[in-house]
Structure 1
Amino acid sequence: MSVINIVGLSFFGISELFGQHLGYSKFWNVSIKKKKNEFTLSSRTGMLILYAPAAVAAAASFFLPGAVVGLRAQLVSLALAIHFFKRVFEVLFIHKYSGRMQLLSTIIISSSYTINTINIIYTQHLSQSQSIREPAIDLKYPGILLSIIGILGNFYHHLLLANLRGKDEKGYKIPSGGLFGLVICPHYLFEIIVFFGLSLIAQTAYAFCFTAGTVVYLMGRSLATRRWYVSKFEDQFPREIKALVPFVF
């Protein structure tokens, strides 16, 4: 499952580079030529389906007898629950929407989040139940710190994106504020930090593979996003702004 995970997420990341975008956000609402009779959802409903099942799965692990044993396992489940419930909160109260989402993309992304959430928690459970020794170097506390930084940074930049649009505005603008002056996708950067922190808390191969696959996917998505802004705004887009990592990438 670790191999399938990293290969699958990397495939979607590489697909983004070649213009095969999952059907959500600006790539669906503006760039992609829609097919007739293709089933879509409102963006709010679609985004809620993306994150709610994973949030429920993480929270449910605390109520399953023997599923979450020990501090490390509890922190893993808690970190996942906080991250996805934050995303649900943003969907309901922060984000502003301008279009629809493709049903197939919604199912793919929601399934990925939910299955990976369950597998990360289950891997932790196996590690505890089979009495596998604790790692020689304990990284869960640095992981907690990184997760907090990632969650706060991701939330802050989502707020900035939401505030770009006034009431009833539907168009896209070049983001500004925060790290948007350096990279076009700082919210992706902080999401990577969240999952890297989670990997340090868990210290399992599966969690690290999920994070590595997520990095490849978000690298592809961020490059595609930057390319979209350059084509959309032409001379208005500052060329020094990178895709994901300030001054580097």
Structure 2
Amino acid sequence: MDALSEFVFAPPPSLFLNVVTVVIPVVVAMLGLSEARGRHLQYSKFWNANSAPKSLEKFKLPSWLGMLLAYTPALLAGVLSLWFFPNEDRRTLLLKSALTLHFLKRDLEVLFVHKYSSKMVFDTAIIISSSYFSSTALMIYTQHLSKALPEPSIDLKNIGLALFLIGIIGNFYHHFLLSKTRKQGETGYRIPQGGLFNTVICPHYLFEIIEYFGFAFISQTFFSLSFAFGTAFYLAGRSSATKRWYASKFEDFPNHIKALLPFVF
């Protein structure tokens, strides 16, 4: 704990926050394990994967509407925190601004970049929305409580900001490349190319993980750090399932392409 105190704030005096710091990332990581085992949250190419007939009868949304439902509450949490508490210390302001920009970009991509061909189960939209909203609100709340605690002796704010900027730019670039694999009106899938798609099938997930560790380094709280690890486990499972899906659908899928980390995994 003494070594960790150089990098992160001490846990805030809140039993609730200390419990969710453990529980929420574990739940997110378990969802990643389910993805890797073939039990998918039902959106994108996996919206009807391994579904029993009853599950196919569930209420489904157009994917663009489902993704807006998933992202917008977290965006509002960030906007409202900036609106009602504008005069914050630099660390808290950086964190809130980065989270708000992250979800604003997500909504704008849904509206102007992504091309959708499938549905999204309403239950899935609610699960994702709840996860994003709760994690965003709790990161901000934890930061507010941590202001009363001694600062970590090693300041990682600027490194965190750099990671966030690398992550959000890399994530957008690869989302843009993904959108170019499908012309307007097309519904099929192609193997994406360009950028890191030449080495991994989910570089957009890799850069999203970098973003979340950017949040964690800006924040330097246990909750932000543990949620970043939980997100990494979830996206690792999702990317592993995505690679298997592409390999099963395309006979010419290159053997050298990894799931998430170039040349490694």
Q: In the alignment, is residue 240 of structure 1 matched against residue 256 of structure 2?
A: yes
Structure 1: gaps of 5 or more residues? none
Report the Cα distance in structure 2 between the residues aligned to 1:192 and 1:181, rounded to whole angstroms.
19
Structure 2 residue corresponding to 1:103, chosen from 122, 139, 142: 122
Matched to 2:115, the amino acid is: K
- 2:105 aligns to what? 86
Q: Give the partner amino acid of 1:231.
A: S
The 8 Å contact of residues 73 and 121 in structure 1, kept in 2 or not, is answered as yes
Q: Give 1:33 shift.
A: 5.5
Moved more, 20-29 or 206-215: 20-29
Measure how far apart 1:65 and its partner are: 4.2
Q: Distance in 2 between matches of 1:176 and 1:139?
A: 34
Change (3 A) 1:193 1:65: closer
* TM-score of the superposed pair, with normalisation by structure 1: 0.95
How much does 1:167 deviate?
Answer: 1.8
Query: Is residue 38 of structure 2 the alignment partner of residue 19 of structure 1?
Result: yes
Residue in 1 that maps onto 2:25:
6
- The match for 2:69 is 49
TM-score (norm: length of structure 2): 0.90
Cα offset, 1:5, TM superposition: 1.4
The RMSD of aligned alpha carbons is 1.3
Report the 3-state secondary structure (helix = DSSP H, G, I; strand = E; otherwise coil) of the residue aligned with 1:41.
strand
Counterpart check, 1:205 vs 2:222: yes
Q: Is the 8 A contact 1:69 1:125 kept in 2?
A: no
Deviation at 1:69, TM superposition (A): 2.5
Percent of residue pairs bearing the same amino acid type: 53
- Correspondence 1:72 to 2:91: yes
Deviation for aligned residue 1:197: 0.8
SS at match of 2:61: strand
Q: Aligned equivalents of 1:141 and 1:97: distance in 2?
A: 36
Q: For residues 132 and 27 of structure 1, do their structure 2 counterparts lie closer, same or farther at Cα, with a shift above 3 Å needed?
A: same
Q: Does 1:229 align with 2:246?
A: yes
| Unaligned runs of at least 5 residues, structure 2 | 1-19
